[in-house]
Amino acid sequence: MAPAVPAVAVPHAGELLGLLTALLWAFAATFFGIAGRRSHPTLVNVLRLPSALLLLGGAYAALHGTPWPGGLPGRVHLWLGLSGLVGLVVGDTFLFHAIALVGPRRAMLMLAATPAFAAVAAWLLMGETISPVGIAGMAVVAVGIVVATLGRDEGGGDFHRLPPAVLRRGLAAALVCALCSGVGNAFAKQGMNLAAGLDPLGATLVRMGWANLGIVLLLAGRGDVLRELPRLRSAAVAGPTALGVLLGPFLGMWAAISAIKLTETGVATVLMNSVPVTVLLPAWLFHRDPPSRAALAGIVLVLAGGVVLVLR
């Protein structure tokens, strides 16, 4: 294996990368939602995962001189593979369905539960704990996200006055994604803990490789998705998906795995999952779905909690 590129020490790098991840994922989710409404949500996963694998492999080759981190023990592949299958295949497939049904702003609100799932999974797997100040900061961020969901929300623009059954299905799908994302983050941290010398980009690449295998297996039993494959030639589908790939599974996932490596899993996850707040901007810009006053108040709390986590 090629030696890892020396890292530059940046104070609170993990926390800052967690916040950057939230912003990147917010815009990526919006673009994926646009593509999913124009085709099929699972089809978006079919296009984005191989595209992200190529981008990550190219970046890894440029930095390390080889397109794949070799010599990794089987147990590292096990945990990173489980992380990719649970988080990127199962979790994101449910998320794209949720976004297509209820819009990115509403779907992302359910991801407020992700940090709790991640913290519990990390505690069970690795005995990872968080300081009292860190827990307080996480609580403030979580309260801010909850506040952002309060009040009557009939939506706006493309997602105005959705039928209750559609709303329930969309929010339930997003909650499944929250569970898968939290557990997947803990699995990724476990894999990196077992892989001495594996940098976050290499871990992201291995995780994405296993996720691609998973999507191939999923696709084999989905005739409805296979019939939609010709839509990938359409610029209306391929364009927003390509933007989503660049911002989400490439730059965003790289930043996310880096954040998980550099700080506690629960802290990184709660910052990454301030997406319910960061998504308000692209939802307003692309879907004419503006935030309520409660959502704006939630932004203030999320920012305050983020400051606590960064300065703790």
Q: Enumerate residues 6+ apart whose C-beta is below 8 A from 214.
A: 84, 85, 88, 89, 90
Question: How many angstroms separate the CA atoms of 49 and 189, rounded?
Answer: 21
Token pair 């996720």: residue: 211
Burial letters for 151-175: b for 16+ Cβ neighbours within 10 Å, e otherwise? eebebbeebeebeeeebebbbebbb
Token pair of 114 as six digits:
């992700």
Q: How far apart are CA 237 and CA 35, in angstroms?
A: 5
Cα–Cα distances (Å) from 107 to 104, 121, 253, 276, in that order, read 5, 23, 19, 8
pTM of the predicted model, to two decimals? 0.80
Predicted local distance difference test score (pLDDT) of residue 4: 46
Which of 37-51, 81-95, 129-143, 259-273 is modeled with the greatest confidence? 81-95
The tens digit of pLDDT for each residue in 37-66 reads: 888 777 787 788 898 999 999 999 999 999
* pLDDT single digits (tens) 165-195: 998 999 899 999 999 999 999 999 999 999 9
Taking the CA atoms of 228, 234, 240 and 241 in sequence, report the sign of the dihedral they define: positive
In the chain, the amino acid numbered 297 is A
Pick from 49-53, 132-136, 149-153, 242-246: least confident: 149-153
Q: What is the pLDDT at residue 237?
A: 87
